[in-house]
Amino acid sequence: MTFLTLRGLTKRYDDAETPCVKNLDLNIERGQIVVLLGPSGCGKTTTLKMIAGLTEPSSGDILVEGDSVVQIPTEKRPVSMIFQKSLLFPHMTVAENIGFGLRMRGMKQAIIKRKVNEMLDLVRLEGYGDRRALQLSGGQEQRVSLARGLIIEPKVLLLDEPFSALDAELRLEMRGLIMDLKKKIDVTILFVTHDQQEAVMLADKIALMIDGEIVQYDNAQTFFTRPLTLRVAEFFGWTNFVPASQKGKTVTCSLGEFVFDGLEEHNGPMCLTIRPEAAVLCPKGEGIRAVIRSSVYMGTRIDYRVDCMDAKLGISFDSDQVFEIGEEIFIKLQNNKVWAVRCDGKEPCDNRIVWGPPLNMQDTSIEARREQNEGEGIGQSIGALDRTDEHHGGDSREKDNP
């Protein structure tokens, strides 16, 4: 039996044409951290608010340990929620804020005091109890907010982009704190974010949500190796997309035929996706022929844009492999860095290059990157330089990060 279950959960606002959360199914095991990842406005927050009881679902059910909680008012549900803004009550001290939930339950003052001190230690804010809530820094505020949510010992802790207002360094520190806390406290966590990196770092499993639907629910590794759809692949650093068609387990496109183990059998249009580091050089005449169109020096490697058969590709080589523009090379694609994805139906698959994984899933950033890659030449690639530099592909990222 799963610990937290969402069953056909749907929310349609009165004035909206389409539901903002569509028929959501999700099973979360006890003690797991599941990250609900998705761009702004995809219904993540609405989902959390329904679990917390702050928004009424239009249909569907929410079960905690097998029991439906939909009819239970917010204050009696075994969940607590941390919001993006710390929402510390301005008229209370830090200790009063943390002890709030226990006071509401009518607990004895002495016990509250002891538990508050324990929580202060746990979030590394010893001695801050008597401060006013408003005398804290952003990071401290969010830690108090976390302590305040945890002190009531919820079965499920909901976090709604709790660190998105903090700067990069603090965000890392806060993620570390969450992972530490997780070891000490038996709590199941549902964490909402649009930050792909944050999701990968924290999650036991990621539920990728787009337009009110969960597109893929897997562990982080799978998103980097076997994305289901084109958009998922884009979010997880797959660079090249080439229209293809699938018959059984065989995917055919202008670059040749590919057979993938573990690819679901399917007949119809697909999209071949290729990581930039997939290409390896072959002796002249072997493999497939490619013509260098532009290059960007990236320090440890060089990113090239090449014409290859009918397709345009973006590929990377170590920086000792220097080619001139117009030069002809022969390459082979490593099978484990190539994959086939569905085209998301409404989006017709065309040949495109999307350099570098997005930092977060704001729709605008990915659109912007696509546009950048429409043009040719050096200038357009410079914009992508800092991003590409920061994380180059999913595999290297996991090593880079502490």
Partner 1 sequence: MKETKTWVMLLPTILVISILFIIPLIYTVLLSLNFFSITSNQAISFNAYVDILTSSSFTDSLAFSLTIALISTVASILIAIVVSMTLRNTFIGRRLALFVYQFNIPVPHYVVGISILLLFTQTGLVSRWFYAFGLIASPSSFPVIVFDQNGIGVIIAFVLKFFPFIGIAILSLLLTSIKDYEEQAATLGANRIQRFIHVLFPMMMPSILFSSILVFAYAFGSYEVPFLLGSTYPKALAILAYQKFTDIDLNSRPEAMAIANIMTIIIVALVILAYIQLNTMNRMRARQNGKE
Partner 2 sequence: MAKNRSRSRIPVLAVLYIAIIVPIIPILMWSFSFRWTYPNLLPTWSPRAWDYVFSQSSIISAIGASIIVSTLVTGLTLIIGYPAAKALGTREFKGKTIVEIFILLPAIVPVISAVMGMQGIYLRIYLSDSLLGVVLAQTVFTLPYLILGLAAVFKNYNMEYEQVASTLGADRWRVLTQVTVPSIFPGLVVSCLFAFVVSWSQYLLTLMIGGAAVNTLPLELFALMTSQDYPVACAVSIIFILPVLILLGLTSKYLTTNGVAKGGINQI
Binding residues vs partner 2 (CB under 8 A):
53-56, 73-75
Dig out the tokens for 294 from the structure.
């532009």
Contacts of 15 (CB under 8 A, 6+ apart): none
- From the list 186, 104, 95, the residue with the least C-alpha distance to 144 is 95
The CB-of-150 to partner 2 minimum distance in angstroms stands at 21
The CB-of-93 to partner 2 minimum distance in angstroms stands at 25
| Site track 124-163 with partner 1 (rule: CB under 8 A), x = hit | --------x-x---x--x------xx--x-----x-----
Q: Are 287 and 331 in contact (CB under 8 A)?
A: yes
The CB-of-151 to partner 2 minimum distance in angstroms stands at 21
| Site track 303-342 with partner 1 (rule: CB under 8 A), x = hit | ----------------------------------------
In angstroms, the Cα distances linking 390 to 359, 384, 386, 396 are 9, 10, 6, 10
| Site track 91-130 with partner 1 (rule: CB under 8 A), x = hit | x--------xx-xxx-------------------------
81 lies in the site for partner 1, by CB under 8 A: yes
What is the three-state SS of 161-182? CCCCCCCHHHHHHHHHHHHHHH
The CB-of-74 to partner 1 minimum distance in angstroms stands at 4
> How far does Cα 308 stand from its chain's mean position?
32
* Binding residues for partner 1 restricted to 33-52, rule: CB under 8 A: 49, 52
The CB-of-53 to partner 2 minimum distance in angstroms stands at 6
Partner from partner 2, partner 1, none contacting 148, C-beta within 5 to 8 A by type: partner 1
Q: Are 219 and 205 in contact (CB under 8 A)?
A: yes
Q: Are 150 and 97 in contact (CB under 8 A)?
A: no
The CB-of-74 to partner 2 minimum distance in angstroms stands at 4
191 lies in the site for partner 1, by CB under 8 A: no
d(CA 142, CA 161) in angstroms, rounded, equals 11
The CB-of-278 to partner 2 minimum distance in angstroms stands at 47
56 lies in the site for partner 1, by CB under 8 A: no
Residue nearer to partner 2 on the CB measure, 54 or 282: 54
87 lies in the site for partner 1, by CB under 8 A: yes
What is the three-state SS of 285-349? CCCEEEEEEEEEECCCEEEEEEEECCEEEEEEEECCCCCCCCCEEEEEECHHHEEEEECCCCCCC
Residues that bind partner 1 (CB under 8 A): 49, 52-54, 73-77, 79-81, 83, 85, 87, 89-91, 100-101, 103-105, 132, 134, 138, 141, 148-149, 152, 158
